[in-house]
Amino acid sequence: MKPLPYRTYSLLLAGLLSMLALWAAGIPRLKMAFAPDPTWQRVRMTGIWRVGLDPSFPPLTMLDEKGKPDGVEVRLLRRVAAKMRVRLQITALSSDALYPALWSGQVDSIIGGLPFDPLLTRDVCYSHSYLDGGLLLLWPEKQPQPTLSLAGLRVAVIWGGEGDRYLRDTLRRGSHLVPKRYLTSREALTAVQSGQADAAILDAITAYTQAGKYGLRWREPPLQSLPYHIAMPVGAHHLQAAVNGVLKQLPPQWYLPLFAEFGQRQSCKGE
């Protein structure tokens, strides 16, 4: 029997090394798949998913006329819980108590316009983003879309807000625009509606709930992104996978009808 050529040995060795590298790369995932997840075990055993939120941020989280939690994020939680076949149990907390409640085991997850925080990833794992609350460009429905450079435009923003900071950065880059600063989003929206400004830069939540009332439309994706996530304990990888599985099935812009609904409610209350 003839010995195999040197090139053949080299190819076999390279193939073997590649297989070993792939196997080694998969070890962390295998460990995660078989590692215990006490949070998920408790959720499955009790059939209850405990979620903490601050119900004082309409239209994301709020209390309805009967004092029960409602809002865009609450509707999302109900949808996720139903898909996971567990009962949703909401715990009302102040914003500064959300993460401590998660770390102490008082709740299994928290929600409330939470951005990804890389400084917390040793203690927290995050779901996929379910909504982007970043900055949107708004302008009158009957007008053509403004250029993204904003050159020559009078742009309304909230004084000292994220939109104002975005404009300052844009000005530093040499764009020639005219900032129009207001104290509230209502004043900024009214300025565009009345022709005192050509466009506005406001957060997506305000755009989704208020733009239609002022005859404005918006452009996506956001000028500046701010994805929101559901937060869970760092070891809750099975719960994270279950939540992400539901979020992946959400239709695009699933939230728009809800923002329209809750925006209408706020209008009826004169807010």
Per-residue pLDDT tens over the stretch 90-130? 999 999 999 999 999 999 999 999 999 999 999 999 999 99
Q: Within a domain: residue 44? A: yes
Burial class (CB in 10 A: 0-12, 13-18, 19+), 262: buried
Split into its structural domains, the chain has a count of 2
Is residue 267 within a helix (H) or strand (E), and if so which, with residue range?
Answer: helix 256-268
| CATH classification at residue 155 | 3.40.190.10
| Closest C-alpha among 232, 9, 200, 194 to residue 108 | 232
Specify whether the CB–CB gap between 90 and 69 falls below 8 A.
Answer: yes
Q: Within a domain: residue 203? A: yes
Task: Give the chain's residues under pLDDT 70.
Answer: 1-35, 266-271
Q: Within a domain: residue 166? A: yes
Chain-centroid distance of CA 165 in Å reads 20
Shared domain check, 236 and 262 = yes
> pLDDT at position 29, please?
46
Counted residue by residue, the chain has a size of: 271
Specify whether the CB–CB gap between 70 and 29 falls below 8 A.
Answer: no
Shared domain check, 234 and 126 = yes
Shared domain check, 156 and 106 = no
Q: What are phi and psi of 226, to 5 degrees?
A: -145, 80
149: helix, strand or coil: coil
> pLDDT at position 113, please?
96
Q: Within a domain: residue 171? A: yes
- Order the strands of the 178-182 sheet from edge to edge: 178-182, 154-158, 199-203, 135-140, 216-224
Shared domain check, 235 and 125 = yes
Q: Within a domain: residue 247? A: yes
121: helix, strand or coil: coil
> pLDDT at position 42, please?
97
Shared domain check, 247 and 172 = no
Cα gap 20→35, rounded to integer Å: 22
Amino acid at 8: T
pTM of the model: 0.84
Q: Give the residue numbers spanning the domain of 247.
A: 38-131+227-268
Q: Within a domain: residue 24? A: no
